[in-house]
Structure 1
Amino acid sequence: MEKLRTIKFTTATDQKLEKIALALGRSKRLVFVQMVDYFHRNKKDPTDLNDDLLKNSLSKSHKTYMGFIKSQEDLLLIPIKQGVDKMIGNQRDIVKFFNEQVLGANKTLLKNQHQMLERTAESDKVIKAVLQRMDGADQLKAKFLQILNSYIKSREELGSFKGREKEELAELTRKQVENL
């Protein structure tokens, strides 16, 4: 059997030890033994609140995490960023090319539409002129027929003996035809 030793401490310290033991679910003796083992193994000074060993441990962990993050950055983040930058550049080129092509096609289309409108307007003018001439030709034929019929009728009324009057009638008819 082990030999037990006695340590005297204040009531306030006993209350703190009891709270720790209750929180951990262990006996006060077991908690005390574990505290002594902890300080003995880690060579920590309980009065040093800025524990250098703890700082070193945290620093090593921090360096490990930073190394992991940097390796992930080299393996994943940088290639992803480069790929995204390249994709954005390609998309800009596509949009630029598309805009140039569409704008060029639209300008050509507008130019062709204006040319077609001009040609259509010219065609309308020509058609109107042809229609007017056709109407004019029909009217001219009608007037010519009137003159011819008037000539024939007047000639038949004169008879065959009046040569001078026939010449005057022929001259009058020629003037009327010229005035058409």
Structure 2
Amino acid sequence: MDISPNKTNKRNRPPEKSIRFPVSAHNKLLKLSEKFGRNQSLLFVQMVEYFYRSSKDPLDIGEEQLRKTLSRNHDAYTSFIKSQEKVLLIPMRVEMERMIKNQEQIVSFFNDQVLKANKSLLENQQVQIKAIAESEKMIKVLYQDREIKRILQQKFLIILDTYIKNRENLGSFKTREKEELVELARKQIAAI
């Protein structure tokens, strides 16, 4: 058995066919193969695969079938979006608007209540401040009165002690001097 390099290559390669085409098409095939970096036979096989898989007609330069497919897909997506809009988006928008209005009403009500409460608190604080100031004045007056009373009591005790000592010194027989002493005590008390 003779195994030469030419015979081995022929056995490992798939069977091939040859096609005749114009030189102008061959030149275009050469340019494409250089542009894509592939050899001519691989590029040709890939072109055939592409047209076979995509079912496109090479004469249809405008890609009418692609346009139809895109249009069908576009229509399907559009109808899906419209149905979702009716089913989901519009009710969601309506609910969101209702919720926003409710939130605005709650915030407005809250602000009104807070403002009223703050105003009431300020008024109550002013009343309490006035009441505290008046109480403070009354406490000062009462303290002064108490201090005056204490001083008066001390003076009265001094006068009373003086009266008692002087009366005891006079004895029981001197009525006129006793009356003068009582009169003097009364004058001293009146002078206070």
TM-score over 0.5 (shorter chain): yes
2:155 aligned residue (125, 137, 143): 143
Q: Distance in 2 between matches of 1:38 and 1:143?
A: 131
Structure 1 residue 8, shift from structure 2 partner: 4.0
Structure 1 residue 98, shift from structure 2 partner: 1.9
Call closer, same or farther: CA 1:156–1:63 in 2, change over 3 Å. same
Q: Distance in 1 between matches of 2:182 and 2:29?
A: 157
Structure 1 residue 112, shift from structure 2 partner: 2.2
Call closer, same or farther: CA 1:24–1:154 in 2, change over 3 Å. same
Q: Distance in 2 between matches of 1:166 and 1:38?
A: 150
1:70 to 2:104 alignment: no
Matches within 5 A, 1:1-180: 8-10=21-23, 11-12=26-27, 18-23=41-46, 39=57, 46=59, 49-52=61-64, 54-160=66-172, 162-180=174-192
What amino acid does structure 2 have at the position aligned with 1:64?
A: A
The match for 2:36 is none
Query: Quick check: 67-76 or 163-172, which moved more?
Result: 163-172
| Long gaps (5+) in structure 1 | 1-5
Task: Name segments (4+ residues, structure 1) moved above 6 Å.
Answer: none
Structure 1 residue 91, shift from structure 2 partner: 1.5
Give % identity: 43
Q: Distance in 1 between matches of 2:20 and 2:45?
A: 20
Q: Distance in 2 between matches of 1:138 and 1:38?
A: 122
Q: Distance in 1 between matches of 2:86 and 2:191?
A: 102
Q: Distance in 1 between matches of 2:189 and 2:135?
A: 32
Structure 1 residue 124, shift from structure 2 partner: 2.6
CA RMSD of aligned residues (A): 3.2
| Long gaps (5+) in structure 2 | 1-18, 33-39
Q: Distance in 2 between matches of 1:70 and 1:120?
A: 71
Structure 1 residue 177, shift from structure 2 partner: 0.9
